[in-house]
Amino acid sequence: MSNDTFRDLSQNPLVQRLGVPRIPVLRRHAVGAPLLDGPAVVGAIGAGRFAEPVRALLEEAGVTETTEGKVAAVVLDATAATTLDDLSAAQAFLTPAVKRLAPNGRLLVLAPEPSDDPEAAAVAHAFDGIVRSAAKEVRAGATANLLVVTPDADVASSVRFFLSGRSAYVDGQVVHVGAPVGPPPAESDEEHPLAGRVAVVTGAARGIGAAIAETLARDGATIVAVDVPAAGESLAAVANRTGGTALQLDITAADAADRLLAHLRERHGRVDVVVHNAGITRDKLLANMDADRWNAVLAVNLRAQLAINAALLGSDLLSDTGRIVCVASTSGIAGNRGQTNYAASKAGVIGMVRALAPQVAAKGVTVNAVAPGFIETAMTATMPLATREGGRRINSLRQGGLPVDVAETVGWLGRAESGGVTGQVVRVCGQSLIGA
């Protein structure tokens, strides 16, 4: 849990009377929790084909639609919008609907991929500006996100994620969803969407990696927890908590990929989800950077991922609904003082993901990146107070995220049903004001 004293104090009515802004307590997923904690409103511009499937999804989840009062979610299918008049129609729907959005509500817009027609392309891209701006306007823990979809997309997995408490710290994001790659997945239980899937998590001994392992296990996955031998005791504890196995492995070793594949072949015969979370920092201003710091960070954060991916994709172990999820960072998008080596490695991860995605689609495999922003960990707890407070407040939700927020996003991308999402970089940063 977060140790955000200022956020906790801001809940006190006496403190609020002093003019202190209230920092919202975010709605996060809990086992057995409903998709939404209230009704929704769904709209469409023209002949959008996704409004009715979204309504069916909501009905199946027990969510009702209402035309009056507060709502827990606003969904607009704008996939048929091609003209400026359609854009005006979107505003006419969104303005009154957003006024009704309850605390911790969700605004989700589905927009078309840009076409070659200049006006239609302008309208499609306009929704990017609408949603990113709305994300900075909605209050009390509410979020706004955009799905850019092709006509043959299967959006169910993504709609569920962005409407649920799993996406609590994902705000102002634009995610492209296309036709699913690979064979149609078997139906899954929404309480255990990863049941029957084998998941490898590197850097699993502590922090975000441990949270990823625990969250994937909660959702039904069989966990292979990987970390360096020096973290063996903590790694074993994570494996025990998740009911998985621990593999002590230095992923920078020359034989690391071979040892990982041998473990998977012997214990499970396959792997469905590979989470590249292991990472290190060796901060220094570029003017003072030495080769050891540079090479160590690149070796763990990027070179090892490239080697393991190459070995997996060259083997028969990765299933035909394989999901590779790489943990990048907002530092790889916006840069960060004293972190040229780290930012280079994380930007490199993003480049790798974008290049790999189209290459492996024919195998049914997706490759995506998750880019955390300021996440409350043992490391951030040791920061100077001013630095820590700055990191917490410079986003639309005015607080740091939790390791589970990164883990929930990884879990969504790891689902077999998320085959239409690939080559994407999803920031888990509360819509940080730094970076794209």
When divided into structural domains, the chain yields a total of: 2
Q: Angle 256-267/304-313 helices, nearest 10 degrees?
A: 40
C-alpha–C-alpha distance, residues 298 and 282, integer Å: 10
pLDDT band at 186 (very low <50, low <70, confident <90, very high): confident
The arithmetic mean of pLDDT across residues 189-210, rounded, is: 95
Q: Based on the fold, state whether residues 306 and 164 are members of the same structural domain.
A: no
C-alpha–C-alpha distance, residues 332 and 113, integer Å: 26
Task: Using the 3D structure, point to which of 146, 177, 208 is the last residue of a domain.
Answer: 177
- Please report the sign of the dihedral spanned by the C-alpha atoms of residue 198, residue 312, residue 304, residue 301: negative
The arithmetic mean of pLDDT across residues 406-434, rounded, is: 95
Both tokens assigned to 231: 């973290």
20 within some domain? yes
Is there a contact between 79 and 48 (Cβ–Cβ < 8 Å)? yes
435 within some domain? no
pLDDT band at 190 (very low <50, low <70, confident <90, very high): confident
pLDDT of 15: 66
pLDDT band at 6 (very low <50, low <70, confident <90, very high): low
In this model, does residue 49 exceed pLDDT 60? yes
**176-185, 199-208, 393-402 — most confident range:** 199-208
217 within some domain? yes
Q: Based on the fold, state whether residues 128 and 230 are members of the same structural domain.
A: no
pLDDT of 4: 72
Both tokens assigned to 298: 């690149």
pLDDT of 2: 63
pLDDT tens per residue across span 65-103 = 998 899 999 999 999 999 999 999 999 999 999 999 999
In this model, does residue 19 exceed pLDDT 80? no
Both tokens assigned to 87: 């854009």
Q: Based on the fold, state whether residues 137 and 243 are members of the same structural domain.
A: no
Residues with Cβ within 8 Å of residue 83, at least 6 apart in sequence = 119, 120, 123
pLDDT tens per residue across span 383-395 = 777 777 777 788 8
- Please report the sign of the dihedral spanned by the C-alpha atoms of residue 109, residue 322, residue 307, residue 358: negative
Q: Where are any strands of DSSP class E within 82-230?
A: 101-112, 143-149, 174-177, 198-202, 222-227
Q: Based on the fold, state whether residues 160 and 202 are members of the same structural domain.
A: no
Report phi then psi at 36, rounded to 5: -130, 155
In this model, does residue 147 exceed pLDDT 60? yes
Both tokens assigned to 38: 């209230």
434 within some domain? no
Q: Based on the fold, state whether residues 312 and 383 are members of the same structural domain.
A: yes
C-alpha–C-alpha distance, residues 310 and 60, integer Å: 41
Within a 10 A sphere around the Cβ of 229, how many other Cβ atoms?
9
Q: Based on the fold, state whether residues 364 and 423 are members of the same structural domain.
A: yes
CA 176 to chain CA mean position, Å: 13
C-alpha–C-alpha distance, residues 202 and 271, integer Å: 14
Q: Based on the fold, state whether residues 163 and 301 are members of the same structural domain.
A: no
Q: What percent of the chain has pLDDT over 70?
A: 97
50 within some domain? yes
Is there a contact between 415 and 193 (Cβ–Cβ < 8 Å)? yes
CATH of the domain at 37: 3.40.50.720
Both tokens assigned to 92: 């006419």
DSSP labels for 148-161? EE-TT---HHHHHH
Is there a contact between 367 and 326 (Cβ–Cβ < 8 Å)? yes
Both tokens assigned to 293: 């710091």
Give the residue ranges of DSSP H helices in 324-374.
Answer: 331-334, 340-360
17 vs 46, residue with greater confidence: 46
374 within some domain? yes
pLDDT of 185: 85
185 within some domain? no
pLDDT band at 1 (very low <50, low <70, confident <90, very high): low
19 vs 285, residue with greater confidence: 285
| Structural domain for 93, as ranges | 5-177
Give the residue ranges of DSSP H helices in 26-143.
Answer: 51-60, 84-99, 118-137
Report phi then psi at 150, rounded to 5: -90, 160
189 within some domain? no
Q: Based on the fold, state whether residues 163 and 287 are members of the same structural domain.
A: no
pLDDT tens per residue across span 212-245 = 999 999 999 999 999 999 999 999 999 999 999 9
In this model, does residue 435 exceed pLDDT 70? no
Q: Based on the fold, state whether residues 128 and 241 are members of the same structural domain.
A: no
Q: Based on the fold, state whether residues 293 and 173 are members of the same structural domain.
A: no
The Cα-based distances of 186 to 56, 158, 337 in angstroms read: 19, 17, 46
Task: Using the 3D structure, point to which of 142, 177, 212 is the last residue of a domain.
Answer: 177
Q: Based on the fold, state whether residues 335 and 282 are members of the same structural domain.
A: yes
The arithmetic mean of pLDDT across residues 117-131, rounded, is: 97
The arithmetic mean of pLDDT across residues 332-343, rounded, is: 91
Could you give the 3-state DSSP secondary structure of residue 65? Answer: strand
Q: Report, as residue numbers or ranges, the catalytic residues.
A: 342
CA 368 to chain CA mean position, Å: 9
Q: Based on the fold, state whether residues 205 and 161 are members of the same structural domain.
A: no
In this model, does residue 259 exceed pLDDT 70? yes
Both tokens assigned to 403: 């390791």
pLDDT of 345: 96
DSSP code of residue 275: E
Give kind and range of the element (H or E) at residue 273.
Answer: strand 271-276
Task: Using the 3D structure, point to which of 112, 145, 177 is the last residue of a domain.
Answer: 177
